[in-house]
Chain A
Amino acid sequence: MSVTQNGKDMIRLEGVSKWFGDFQALRDVDLAVDRQEVVVVCGPSGSGKSTMIRCINRLEKHDGGRIVVDGIELSDDLRNIQEVRREVGMVFQQFNLFPHLSVLENITLAPRNVRRRPRKEAEESAMELLRRVRIPEQAHKYPLQLSGGQQQRAAIARALAMEPKIMLFDEPTSALDPEMIKEVLDVMIELAESGMTMIVITHEMGFARAVARRMVFMADGEIVEVGTPEHFFTNPEEERTKQFLAQIL
């Protein structure tokens, strides 16, 4: 994985490391994600998957290496961070909707306050997004009046409202009941087909086969193996990958 500045990469991590106290969560991670590429990250818990994507929008501060997002290098400069966060949408395992705001207000909050959209315009595009994730009828409800699947779709709509160039998904279906996983994955598949650049942490291997251009397997804070889904599932090279796949498949 050579490091070149050809401007084609949407996200570029070079030698990124991260410590929590004495524990090293990321060891010298290199990863480049193309425009419109969908990358699925998997690996055992504690392997640094979440930490890696949380570094990309600076929810965690990396301790070593470089992270460049759409040509902007993440530094301590607050303006850079805000600029990157505007380009990067994130969907969390526990949805993290704002419980005191209605679904519509959840979605319009950032466009109105960060992008300074007028209320009416923001609400119209929010309704458009809610139709896209198929819950327009829930617009005026509070998040906790919705099912888990509906909440996660609302959270996806909230992230999309900022018109990000990149979407990060941190185990988006792990907190859902089985019958609700498909409705969320369907929305994500449509998003991938529309050409969104996505990094998805998930163990939904059917989803990975369907949309991932590349699979990334992480263990102990390192990227162990990278490959196409076909190669990854049928013919993994590393011993740790084989063990992991044997456990989850």
Chain B
Amino acid sequence: MATQIDALEPLPLPEGPPERRLPPRQWIRENLFGSIFDSVLTVVFGAFLAWAAYRIGKFVFVDADWEIIRRNLTTLMVGSFPRTELWRVWAALFVLAASLGFGAGAVGAQRRREVAEGRAEPAPKGVAARRLAPVVILVSVLLWFSGSLENLLLVLAIAAVGAVSNVVGRRTPRRLERYVPLLVLAGILIAFLIIVAFGGIKWNDWGGFMLTIFLAVGGILLSFPVGVLLALGRRSSLPAVRIVCTAYIELIRGVPLVALLFMGVFMLGFFLPEGVARPDTVVRVLVALVMFTSAYVAEIVRGGLQSVPAAQVEAAQALGLSPYRTTRQIVLPQALRSVIPGLVGQFISLYKDTSLVFIVGLADLLTISENITKQPDFLAQGLIVETLVFASFIYWTGSYWMSRESQRLERRLGLGER
């Protein structure tokens, strides 16, 4: 019976958009060699790419002498941080893994609920692995350079702690969900305290990648709220607030970051009253970075605030929401999600601008990369290329990770949006 029906005519397929998927050979012909001009471009750029890949590969795997990185890895990571106190850094990493893993788990649970309620699409397969990829690549390279079994085991233990707290985070009861961001922030704070408190290591001994990350994360976490407040202040109906915020933004944006760093370090003392302890250089630098970035963040956020239609505010007012609630729950959420690309761009900028702190005598990742080439064993061997490639690679993984996360966030928030 069945064969008879098959023989009559094929069953109609369910309707769907026609699939346009070319076999590789045809795709190449259409897209790479469609016309003479295309073919020329393809050949020229193909040759260039192949040559570049060859040169880079040859440098990284054959010519380069990575001994300088291997021997100075700890210095690159933590600068002159006392080697007997390194356990503090590892302990901080454990705490960070626990709190970030927990936070990611809680967000994941929220996402799954939205999927179950039919207002978000399920995440594509393997998305977690892809999101972690930049971190995994970075850590693998670092482990390869360190070549130490002990470090490998420590990293695996940290990863395990992160995974376990991720599982715990997924079981967060819904009514506690709003405390998750606080908990993650508390984790970051505890990690910080483990390093500095209880006879810990003061800022002046910080250095290397640790200092870079500290300045970048601290700068981002502080300049974001300050920038949002400045943006709101610039639109305030109170003239005094508006004038102060506008003046601040315009002044700071008119000054080079380098000048601000110098001022923070050399001029702050004049402004502080007698008897107040002079803060460490690292604190002064952080303040300068936050002052600088928050002015830019403020202008980006202001653009977002202007993009929220007045009708949204009217609808909130008509419901009896107070001005604070209206800003907090209606205007800001919509304003911020429309400026994610600009904000993340600013934060990536800040991350790399931390390398400017060398001018006030701090030893960040980039400074150390240069300094180690002056060691007696490595002097005058042209090893600056190796150290710069290594430092750039570290900067790049961080920036690339931020950029990818911002794109993901945009897509995620874009669903069901105007």
Q: A interface vs B, CB < 8 Å?
A: 57-59, 82, 85-86, 88-90, 92, 94, 96-100, 102, 109-110, 113-114, 140-145, 158-159, 162
Contact = CB atoms under 8 A, between A and B. Distances in A.
B334 A100 contact: yes
Interface stretch (B208-216, B230-238, B310-318): B310-318
A59 B319 CA distance: 11
B416 A99 contact: yes
Interface string B405-418: 00000000101111
B333 A145 contact: no
Given A99-B334, A100-B334, A144-B416, A113 B321 contact: yes
B418 A144 contact: yes
A110 B315 CA distance: 11
B119 interface: yes
Interface residues of B, number: 26
Tell me which of A57, A99, A158 has the highest count of chain B C-beta atoms within 10 A of its own C-beta: A99
Contacts of B314: 59, 92, 96
Contacts of A59: 314, 317-318
A96 B312 contact: yes
Contact of B319 (A110, A140, A141): A110
Given A140-B119, A142-B119, A86 B416 contact: no
B318 A85 contact: yes
Contacts of A58: 317
B242 interface: no
A114 B321 contact: yes
B329 A109 contact: yes
B119 A102 contact: yes
B119 A85 contact: no
A94 B318 CA distance: 14
B352 interface: no
Contact of A82 (B114, B320, B329): B320
Contacts of B279: none
Contacts of B322: 82, 114
A57 B319 CA distance: 10
Nearest to A58: B317
B315 A89 contact: no
A94 B320 CA distance: 19
B111 to A, nearest CB: 13
Tell me which of A59, A94, A143 has the highest count of chain B C-beta atoms within 10 A of its own C-beta: A59
Nearest to A145: B416
12 contacts: A59-B317, A82-B320, A85-B317, A85-B318, A86-B320, A90-B318, A96-B312, A109-B321, A140-B118, A142-B416, A142-B417, A145-B119
A86 B316 CA distance: 11
Tell me which of A89, A100, A144 has the highest count of chain B C-beta atoms within 10 A of its own C-beta: A100
B70 interface: no
Interface string B372-384: 0000000000000
A143 B119 CA distance: 10
Nearest to B328: A113
B315 A92 contact: yes
B118 A110 contact: no
A96 B315 contact: yes
B118 A141 contact: yes
B112 interface: no
9 closest A-B pairs (Cβ-Cβ)? Answer: A142-B416, A140-B117, A96-B315, A110-B319, A90-B318, A85-B320, A86-B320, A114-B320, A96-B311
B253 interface: no
A176 to B, nearest CB: 17
A163 to B, nearest CB: 11
